[in-house]
Chains A and B, each alone.
Chain A
Amino acid sequence: METTTMKNSKNTNIMMMLNLFLGAVGLYLWWMIYHVLPKVSSWLTYNLLPIENGSHLGSSVEFFLYDTPKVMMLLFLVVFGVGIIRSFFTPEKTRAFLSGKSEFVGNILAALLGIITPFCSCSAVPLFIGFVTAGVPLGVTFSFLIAAPMVNEIALGLLYGLLGWKVAAIYMGTGLFIAIGAGWVIGRLKLENHIEDWVTETNVTGVTMEEEKLTWNDRIVYGWDAVKEIIGRVWIYVILGIAVGAGIHGFVPEGVMASIMGKDSWWSVPLSVVIGVPMYSNAAGIIPVVEALLGKGAALGTVLAFMMSVIALSLPEMVILRKVLKPKLIATFIGVVASGILLVGYLFNLII
């Protein structure tokens, strides 16, 4: 018996070393490929394809051929990394951590945990009920529900890769600010009686649950599964987003966006929110478009507002949440978050 366990642990060690080695080689290859992408895309566009250097079509095609592999590679790395971090967190642990926290501190923690807790908007309802019935305050629950889709690893990874760390940091900071602020405001409004009655009447039987013990190998598998799952789901949005971005990049004249989405037109921020809220896309699809808009002179605040309203507020999620929230609470939720986004948009147009 003892020899087999020893053998097993030796095997795991070997597996571990092998994984580390493969990981290092993979990372090195990733780095090499990532750095030759600009040359390859330019060569493909102008040497392999019969496209004239400097033409509109050329700059669109080059943008597309450069951004598609770049975005996919970044997604791969970020999703894998965050997948491993996420294997340490579960919604159950987050709930246990948040219940009984005071409101303001609770809002901050909930928004931060929203970034790293695995969450899919299709399970927003059971999660909402789980939080509220466990005594997590309503406002704190909302901070989590706002931060979880808005400030996520896909958005941060892509913003960092395409627009630099400053824009990524601004996005993360303002996204957290909105989640914390909006959650706090909703908490202050005392809307607990606008939760559908059956939620509070639900008798949670609480079946027993086994705590999973994960090894490092399990976590690597978890990260790998996340890559397959997320990239399998978003790749089509990424390609569509980049295609739209490429069109804007090549064919929209410089400065046109400055007059429509520039900082001098006061109505551009509310307009982007109004257009953005009913639109549904994930971060992976919208960020290539944002990159192209910024390149044509759109103001950062306006673009941030557009991106946030597309990602954070979506029609399908509202339909799902309607099952647990009465109309007035849904409307308040949309109103408060949209106001926060407006504020951020104006603020950045003012200071940058």
Chain B
Amino acid sequence: MTEIIQARQLTKRYPGDVLAVDQLDLTVEAGTIYALLGPNGAGKTTTIAMLTTLLQPTSGQATVAGFDVVNQPSEVRRRIGVTFQEIVLDQDLKGREVLDYHGQLYGLPHSQRAQQIEALLRLVELEEAADRLVKTYSGGMKRRLELARGLLTAPDVLFLDEPTQGLDPQNRSRVWDYLRALREEQGLTILLTTHYMEEAESLANQVGIIDHGKLVTEGQPEALAAQLGADVIRVSGSGPVDSFVTRLKQLDYVQQVHATDGVLQIGVDDGHHRLAQVVTLATEADFHIEDVSVARPSLADVFLKVTGRALRDA
């Protein structure tokens, strides 16, 4: 499989010594969906900006679709589609016009443009709204139009920065459906950033967890979560943590224990059946439990484990 995005030691330092992206190494295989998962401020948007030639890296290098982002930006631009975190549509144009002007900027000849526009309006279900002004669209419709715009030029790679932010669940799963279909039917490569764990779990072949500008871990979502155990018992509370942890580790069904800031993630083989014993152990260790839950391990658990912070609170 070819590597269609390659970043080596990508770094961005802003004036005032703000290190937004710190020596990031990233590889994305063609025809896959890669999700860059991390909280707001982690450096996701900055990373995408560098890969889409909007921002100059401070150091490091990256190639997209075989071309260097710094030395061959035009070649990269010709081959990519991008959507941004904010809606960046011209409100005073009709949906169809937005797509048409976009196609012109990429040198798409007239007949091809018209064809592509129809096909994409159909894909994102905006055929009826196409001749209305964008300012009359709902938030979900605008996002879908932006997706159509990003796909208009049949790019090799599609970059999506927080593609479903602010969307209701219905629109969100519609967008997910479109993206999955595009990957399956056309072999499109997609790099998306998100802070929604469900989005990464649901869409991605490969997930990279990013925090404070660094890529902390990478892998298939199921594989990353499985590293934590078949089930995870989460216990939060206060008291002698070390004593509790030592007792836990002695149990043969406990695969691993990870403790951060009063939250313990205990990877076990069967959470529901082991719960009672875990609670008993806590009492024996004088650990005062405030909250306990059992669940299949999720990327949020992975995030907590590798960064020491909760994805939602970060």
Whether A and B are associated in the same complex: the answer reads no
